[in-house]
Structure 1
Amino acid sequence: MKNFRVGSWIFLSIYTISILCLQVSPQNIPGNVTFGVIISESTDKDDAIKAVDMAIEYINTNSKILPNTTVNYLINITNVLHSFQSLQAACWQATHGIVAFIGSLSSGTTKTISSISNGLHIPQITPTATDPELSFTDTYQYLLKMSAPDDVQSLVLGDTMAHYGWSRFGIIASSSDYGRSGVRELLKIATIRQWTVNSIHYFTPSSDLTSIDLTQSLIKLKRSGTRIVVLNCLSTHARIILSQASELGLLNKDWAWLATDGVTVVGELFDSCLDVPEHLVGLVGVRPLYGSGNLQEYFQTKWANYSKTTQKATEMRLFDSILAASIGLHNLLADNNNFTIMNPVKDICQRTSEYYWSDGNSYLNYIKQIQSEGTMNKLSFDNFNNPPEPVYEIVNLLEKGWERVGTWGKGRDEGYKLIMERSPQFFKKNRKAPSDAVINLNNVTLNITTILESPFVMRKTKDEMMFSKNKNQRLKGFCIDMLEKLSENLKFKYEIQIVKDGSYGTLDPQTKKWNGLIGEVMSEEIDMAVAPLTINYERQQVVGFTKPYMDLGLKLLLSKEVEKVNIYGYLEPFEKGLWAAVVGTFIICSVITCICSRLSPYSLGYYAQLDNETEHENLTLCNSLWATYGCWMQQGTETYPKCLSARIVFGTWWFAVMVISASYTANLAAFLTVKRLDTGIQSVNDLAKQRDIEYGTVKNSAPQRFFAQQLVDPYKTMFAIMNADGTYVDTAEAGIRKVQESYGKPKNERYAFVWDSAPLEYASNIKPCNTLIIGNDFNKFGYGLALKVSTHKSDFVECIIPYNLRMNPMGGFKRGIEREQGRIDCLHSRWLINDSSFNIENRSGC
């Protein structure tokens, strides 16, 4: 019995200890968990792996994080440009029972992996992906981001440019998701702030760096006139681009380049063990501020034992990503005793039936709720699964590497703002911020060519030449005034000459040479063409153009119909039958009034006797006609009928006169104000349908080129007819004169001229006033100034190309993309509508 009692006590003791052990170390806490890490070849693989090892060591040796669980990892290194490799890597890792994806580092591959993450309910944490689209939580449900999206970085770039007063810039970006998303957000900011983006150049990123050649794009960027460039790509490609830019002279003291975090964070712009190359010193960039978390000191100490290189943001974000995944799992295990890990399943991505991790959503929510310290900053996430309150730093590349010169973050007033700690050093040790466009033409003499076309360029009369001091003042017109204002504002001198062959400029299909204004601009003697020169694609391939200073289109000029003088034109409002009825009514009313007055006892004689008047005038037939006529003309007479019957007849006549007068006045006004053309031509379609009136344009001109390129009617038909009839003219002045001379001729001898609307409007408003404009504008285009793009003066001439010739009312030129009404409109009013000289010789009004 004693032995039984002892055995019972031993059994109870063992049972109690077992229950206590089960409560302290539940069997459902996993002994091992595995994270799947996916990084790209473009990063420093060794440093990335070291950062992952440091994070795993920190977690496994920290008794406060997963004390009863060992953390392991699987890693795959994929090509950042091949998303399918990342997809294969994610599927392979999922078959091994991972609990979270750490990666990828690029936005494109992150989106690819997200499809696996969403389908299997496995949380995904990306250290460096920044595409703003990743913030759409409905699409990327299981994705968490350790880096702020690109739209935040664009705000930093915008505030940096605003700090230095830059409102014009160019962009070079890769065509990847990273490159395009950063540019897209920056363009929105430029639109809101009304800045000018002079040029945007995309390139296709490639692992073969020898295929990266942006020489032509950089030349176009230089020609655009801007001196501020935003570079948005990875550092491996930026290294090649900046080297090419240096060879073309785009990295001197007049330039400033702003690099994004793809260049400033990923450390492959230069060899870290060597000094920074001289041509890169002066580069300015932005990047997330890292190293502000409480674990920064720990990371720096451990990193020094692992590597001699300086730690970078990518490695620190990898460390923080694994730390966030581990802390979230620790909190979940502490609150949930029913947690289970997804069992490894072979070929999990090939399963046709729905399969996902049941606890994946709970795990995701625990990661979102963490509030812990990291190496970069505090680990937490906002409602869009982004890090809250991002902080950026403005960095400057000097001889020893990147140095911080400013910060951007949330201030005390709840707003984000930029604080510059010191002025950066730009290229060639320049401490002064460059201008966003070089406008320096002081004491430079430009050779100008132009062409005679009223009212843009005209010769002065002999009387006007008396006040001319030099040969540049022998011309007048719209373009001459504009050139004078441009010269005054940009401080350059010029010598002007008339184009030798009198042509605007076309390409000879035989010799492959340009003639006219374009040919002279391409020569060695001429720098710029100031004329009503149409901007088109072919010309833009060989010369540079300013922004259009005038928008217009093609129109038709036709002579007016000869107006025949008709002394009986006042009778035209009524037909002959109606006139006869009116006259007949007039006579009948007069006769009836006279008869009624004669037969009625209450005539004029009756009233005269009542008034004791011995003399009185009876209402004779003549008096009746005169009274009726006076009423018709709305005038009074001496004698009116007195009897009731005559008054009724007279009143009826008054009412008829009122109706007749109102109708006549309305019809007469219409006849006098409306002039109808007997030609029936009201549009270019009407002109093309008939063959009586000839039509043409200037040969070897932009309008002729327009008709030649058209494959649809009526333009195709008109081009064939003009070629067959040979109706081209040598100059616009000859075409306008031909129209004027056809005035008064038969229809088959008249001529219609197709030309730019502005000079045609001018011609129709001056003497001899026998022409008019037909139809609406077609083939819309603009006039611009043409400039040489390859000359010993190119650095000076190219700065005019982006210059907006729309001038403000104060007389200065307006820069920017807005098309401001002002000085150009004054020139338009003076030369195209109302010439200020207003003399009888050139403009007496039409």
Structure 2
Amino acid sequence: MDIEGRMILNRFQSKADDITIERVINYPSGSQDYVPYLQQLSSLQARVVLLSATEEDADHIFRDAEALNLTGEGYAWIVSEQALTSAYVPEGTLGLKLSYGTNEKDHLADCVSLIKQTVTDLFNGTLTQISDTPNSCKSTSSFWQAGNAILKALLNAKLEKGRTGQIAFDSAGDRLNPVYFFQNIQVVNGRKSAENIGFYGNPKVISNALEIDESKIIWPGKKTTRPSGINISTELKIVTLESVPFVYTRKMTESDACNWDRNERLCPLVNETTGIKEDYCCWGYCIDMLIQIADMVNFTYSIHLGSSGEFGSYKKVNKTGEKKWNGVIAELISKDADMIVAPLTINPERAGHIDFSKPFKYQGLTILVKKTATESKLDSFLQPFEDTLWILVALSVHVVALVLYLLDRFSPFGRFKLAKNNDTEEDALNLSSAMWFAWGVLLNSGIGEGTPRSFSARVLGMVWAGFAMIIVASYTANLAAFLVLDRPEASITGIDDARLRNPNEDFKYATVRNSAVEMYFKRQVELSTMYRQMEPRNYRTAEEAIKDIVNMKLQAFIWDSSRLEYEAGQNCELITVGDLFGRSGLGVGLQKKSPWTSKISMAILKLHEKGNMEDLDNKWILEGRNDCPEKDTTPATLGLTNMASVFLMVAGGIIAGIILIVIEIAYKRHRGLKDKELELARNAADRWRGNIEKRKLLRETWDYIKVLKDKEAKVAMAEETKDSKQALSFN
């Protein structure tokens, strides 16, 4: 490539924004062998060759190109004016020829006229004299002031009626309205001739009109239809990633092979660290879709798994700040793959570097969480009331019992007063009976005895009964409410949940790193806080994150709705929450300006029209879903976990009763021993007292007998005396 060719290339690159230059081949001018340079063309995808060469170099280039079969059907050669005059120029070659390009006399005449007009205008204007020019152009000590003014005047000059047409220049010094003829090398009557097929420019006005009659063009291979300009290989390299249910994978064994009846296809994986190739089988939604598209568009393919396991993101790779794509996107850009067939999200960042087909599935982002049930603790039956309220209720029972006892004790109509009358059979209300009454009313148990008798105590009893009714009703209602709250439900409500916007250390959420979801959070200003929270926790694959959701190591996973809805359908412990956000589509990724883009898009649209995509949804996403109720409509039921504490309370009551009866028995035995000792002492005292009484009685008896004997003795003596007196008297 000569200097003129490089200038043409630079202008072409700056103006042709929608044209991709696959390779620039520089060759040495004057060489006799151009085969090594031309062989590079055969390995390229492009079939449009732009050649800038002299007539002599073009002779050798065209001869070598024809020998390599690079000038036949499918190719298009666009050459410079000198190359167009080569004797070996192939049929179908296109080139530009400058109008009046070989008429030097007319060009010189226009040049002299333009300079004359410019200099005249300068001397009639600001430039009155011209200083001497410098001795050397390399000298920096002197500057020719007039030269700059003359150059500026020449660039702004305009010659309306020149021999070669209107003359004017742009800022670079190129002619604004040159007229080029498009010529096509055709064989007419066995002879090659350059036929005009159009022109570029207008000699009458300063414009760049382009007119080409394409029907007059004869293309290489004597074709009348324009070639595609690209070598479309029908053997495509497909890269994919495991993403259930779109792509399933399993590792092959020595005795195993992919089951083609199940639409399994071989998809080897090259380990990124060891470089070892491992064979896998791939199947699923995307593989079925690829098989159908390949049949419709007519291409063959080989599938491999992305070695990085990531979709790809645009990130800095070194300290210079240079950004590059990674993941399967990088494979597409580096042309290691022709197509990405996976659940690849279409977004602006990726669309700037690769092409996308029409979406094969529309979706959004959603959040996957595990249903959480409140753990029933041993004190769960106490949940309806706060601890303070329970303390006040227990205190109220004893206060009311004490007041009831006092009211009934000091009332003139209480049982203490009436108990003095022999007519009443009721016992007086003691403190124990008052306590029993208060607890019985609160717990709604029958009160058989021990009720207050006085009017004042009965008024308090009625008020206490009303209080107990309100407390019991409130407890029952709150217990039912807490039972409903114990149902398994989602822990968050959606993307605007406060636990996502302002999370604590115990609440973790994440997505997949280097994915479209991560890029979505990164570019959304209102989600920047969430992005900073997620970035260090993001997972390598969705499978790892879902596994941690099930194991409660991760509280929320943000990912594509189609995948998460599938997972929620397979596992009833999982649920997607909130409305969809970040709506997008899944598409097939292709190389930028790939010739397959429109064909793949048309095939996908036809699959939508035929209902094939709906069939794939039913087969891979909807089929096999568990019948998980969206919401439990059955009444809340109490289980052992809810009421275990009540049974423990009963067991505690039984144990307390046993302990108390043991204490009572021990107390009774202790009291019995004392009573026995008292009884023995009492018996001994009674016996001693009896003995004393006996002795006293015996003594009194003896004394009485003695008295009687004395009386009898006196009577006897008296009678003897009387008898003796009578005897004396008789004597």
Give TM-score, length-normalised by structure 1: 0.40
The structure carrying a bigger helix percent of its residues is: 2
Give TM-score, length-normalised by structure 2: 0.45
